[in-house]
Amino acid sequence: HPPASQGIITSPLQQRAAPTAPATDAVPAGVPAAATPRRSVHDAGHGTSLPGTLVRSEGEDPSGDVSVDEAYDGLGATWQLLADVYDRDSLDGRGLPLVATVHYARDYDNAFWDGRQMVFGDGDGVYFDRFTRSVDVVAHELAHGLTQYTAGLTYVGQPGALNESASDVWGSLVRQWVRGQTVDEADWLIGAELFTDRVQGVALRSMAAPGSAYDDPVLGRDPQPAHMDDYVVLPHDADNDNGGVHINSGIPNKAFHLFATALGGHVWERAGQVWYDTMTTRGLVPRDVDFVRFADATLAAARRRYGGTGEGEEVTRALRAAWAGVG
Ligand code: ASN
Ligand code: ZN
């Protein structure tokens, strides 16, 4: 039997919706002056047809529906971070419109990227609040689009766990960026605003302490490992979270946390830049990359950007220690 806690991350709807669309060729061209995001937020009205009814387009005033406006703001924050820090115009580097749907289905305890757009449930109201409440969850789903347009990591086994981890990395980057936090001020949590008071836990996942985010009589226990000694081997099928992609992502998540906190300062500066370069430099990571090759690729990306001496030495030393720290 899979761990009980998989129930909250693997629903039948979600299995259909796993982000498996093929990588698309796109050459990042930088952000034109005065470029803005091109957002649209839709309302599924508790149905499952996508995208649903358009309720807020780019530049329009807040709708008054908190889910709509949180989604709109979360898309905006993610677009702005990519533009301001990494000189990238949207997910494809070419101004791709950002489409989201809220109020998807009833009591839906998840959010997902379907290969073209983001979708958010309202939560069941008993254990989960609406999924737009955490900006890092909005950014996580969007980042599945970024990965699709860049590294195109296969959504199964180790490349799948790296795909999931990359989404958590972007989620936490956006969370820290909108709050203006340093790596030491940050909570490194994913989904800290989603649980109701009834749940014994702080968030869906913790990048700083994978495995410790929740331990609840109904939801079970956070199943994430933080080290290769605890890697969870599961069959590579949809009933088993595609080989535990939301479970083993704890390992690269912890590596990123170790790397970023060793460097200090703002996560989006050097740590985020190395991950961004690793994911977006053409040919650096194959779609079926495993953890070891991905770690090598982060080192190659760091050397390419920061050189082999001075700052480059500091960054690559922190990187090697981080990957060694997770085995
Ligand atoms: N919330 C999950 C995720 O973004 C949904 C899924 O697995 N498709 O990974
Ligand atoms: Zn995900």
CATH for 210: 1.10.390.10
Specify the amino acid at residue 318. A
Mean pLDDT, range 114-124, rounded to an integer: 98
The string of pLDDT tens digits covering residues 163-219 is 999 999 999 999 999 999 999 999 999 999 999 999 999 999 999 999 999 999 999
Same domain, 318 and 177: yes
Asked which of 149, 176, 206 is the last residue of a domain, the reply is 149
- Are 295 and 303 spatial neighbours (Cβ–Cβ below 8 Å)? no
What does the alpha-carbon distance between residue 168 and residue 141 come to, in Å, rounded to a whole number? 9
Same domain, 82 and 121: yes
Same domain, 175 and 218: yes
- Looking from the CA of residue 17, the nearest atom of ligand 1 is 8
Same domain, 40 and 171: no
Q: What mean pLDDT value characterizes the chain?
A: 93
What does the alpha-carbon distance between residue 51 and residue 100 come to, in Å, rounded to a whole number? 7
Range of the domain at 11: 4-149
Q: How confident is the model at residue 6 (pLDDT cuts 50, 70, 90)?
A: very low
Same domain, 124 and 98: yes
Same domain, 130 and 163: no
Q: Catalytic: 42?
A: no
5 pLDDT above the threshold of 60: no
Same domain, 174 and 313: yes
Specify the amino acid at residue 295. A
Same domain, 217 and 295: yes
Which pLDDT score is estimated for 19? 52
What does the alpha-carbon distance between residue 305 and residue 324 come to, in Å, rounded to a whole number? 22
Number of domains in the chain: 2
Same domain, 175 and 63: no
- Are 221 and 212 spatial neighbours (Cβ–Cβ below 8 Å)? no
Secondary structure letter of residue 287 according to DSSP: T
CATH for 120: 3.10.170.10
For ligand 1, atom 3: residue with the closest CA? 112
Asked which of 124, 149, 174 is the last residue of a domain, the reply is 149
The string of pLDDT tens digits covering residues 220-255 is 999 999 999 999 999 999 999 999 999 999 999 999
Contact 247 CB / ligand 1 (< 6 Å): no
Mean pLDDT, range 83-94, rounded to an integer: 97
Same domain, 123 and 265: no
Q: What percent of the chain has pLDDT over 70?
A: 91
Angle subtended at Cα 126 by Cα 170 and Cα 172, rounded to the nearest 5 degrees: 10
- Looking from the CA of residue 141, the nearest atom of ligand 1 is 4
Same domain, 284 and 188: yes
Same domain, 180 and 226: yes
Cα dihedral 209, 183, 174, 212, rounded to 10, equals 10
Contact 141 CB / ligand 1 (< 6 Å): yes
Specify the amino acid at residue 278. T
User: 85: closest CA among 307, 284, 274, 318?
Assistant: 274
Q: What percent of the chain has pLDDT over 90?
A: 90
